Amino acid sequence: MAQKPSIPKGTRDFGQVEMARRNYIFDTIRGVFALYGFQQIETPAMENLSTLMGKYGEEGDKLLFRIQNSGEKAALAPEKGLRYDLTVPFARYVVQHREEISFPFKRFQIQPVWRADRPQKGRYREFYQCDVDVIGSDSLVGELELIQIVEEVYRRLGINVCLHINNRKVLAGIAEVIGAPDKMIDITVAIDKLDKIGVDAVNAELQERGLSVEAVNALQPILNLSGTTAEKLVALRDVLASSPTGLKGVEELETLFGLIENTGVTLNIELDLCLARGLNYYTGAIFEVKALDAQIGSITGGGRYDNLTGIFGMPDVSGVGISFGADRIYDVLTELNLFPAALQSTTQVLFTTFGQDELRYALGWAKLLRDKGIAVEVYPEPTKMKKQMGYADAKQIPFVAIVGGDEMAQQKVMLKNMASGEQQLVAIDELVGQLKA
């Protein structure tokens, strides 16, 4: 007995309905990226493992998919892995192609990435990211444009979101003032889970990672600062007074929020001091976007990285980027029923026929319509009309052009509106006009 076909856990097939919806997301995001002058590149699905290792923190390294070398010289070939994200391959790309690039370099990528994670709702082993980055400038205008892009993308998609902002320099300053400067990574990895596992579990993890009880206790009031953004920033200045790094982070946040106010951004934005972003390469502003009307994790995230290209031999090149999680956005749009109803239908008119002569007649009309940019299908055989009409219904094709002997004699077709049931006899020019309307 043949084995039942299957796909790896954490991956999915996408049928025509899913692809129409996914392309709606990709096209929406791509259109907003273009408004800000970003241009598209692509990088390979696999990278040398040395490119990926050590860039995502201890936990990230564990989630890398490794590719087994094969062939005669397998033992001599560099180890490879599937890309974990698009940012590290982008940094490698910048260094490798530096002579061809004009800085600041504004690029976007829409490609799949892979993580050996435990599959669950909103979390897959293969998923798409839509990344937008600007590298070669340390201006906070980069952060502002990313925030404006987030605002416009989710306005177009109709999703209510909140953008959470923090700064890794602030987190480094906090580690300094609680007496644990060498534990900054441990602190960020732990508090980044606050929303998922709760404060008690985070505190326990901090102690497991080597923080003293006194340091953990000192951290609590800092993470629980309340009030307006302005009030939090004032309080942070006092808390971090002994940390130049922390004060620099506060200054960057003040500048960024000033730019946000000056440019009229209306997006719901929160200064979130518990936001850490687990990736080690972030050095400045960090972002996460969460949907307000759906129970799901972050649907967009990113931040500033000051020296990611340095690990590839090109130091002191600052960049900032953000990544839209297409799969989670898809889940939110599905849950909230926000996909446009007409997405599934791409064909504008289906020709149905009663015989071979009518079929040949319809094929000629179909070519004329396609030459004018109209999407057309011709049912490939003159079978029962009920079956042909059923095909149009199943594909949600809005119009059917019926071809019989009488229609051919008059050099016309009978056009049926599938929504209203109305029928009318039309010539080719009239048909073009109706379909172009």
Q: Residue 391 sits in which domain range?
A: 346-436
Question: Which DSSP letter does residue 99 get?
Answer: G
Question: Which DSSP letter does residue 224 get?
Answer: T
Domain membership flag for residue 340: no
CATH, residue 422: 3.40.50.800
The Cα-based distances of 373 to 70, 348, 378, 418 in angstroms read: 47, 11, 16, 21
Q: How far apart are CA 44 and CA 62, in angstroms?
A: 21
Final residue of a domain: which of 315, 335, 355?
A: 335
175 and 79 in one domain? yes
Final residue of a domain: which of 311, 335, 359?
A: 335
Q: pLDDT confidence of 195, banded at 50, 70, 90?
A: confident
Domain membership flag for residue 9: no
| pLDDT single digits (tens) 349-379 | 999 999 999 999 999 999 999 999 999 999 9
What integer best gives the mean pLDDT of the chain? 91
Give the count of domains, the chain. Answer: 2
Q: Which residue, among 127, 13, 131, has the nearest Cα to 65 in the 3D structure?
A: 127
Q: pLDDT confidence of 278, banded at 50, 70, 90?
A: low
Domain membership flag for residue 4: no
299 and 253 in one domain? yes
Tell me what percent of the residues of the chain surpass a pLDDT of 90: 70
pLDDT at 224 over 80: no
Average pLDDT over residues 10-25: 93
Cβ atoms of 412 and 404 closer than 8 Å: no
238 and 270 in one domain? yes
Q: SS3 of 259, please?
A: helix
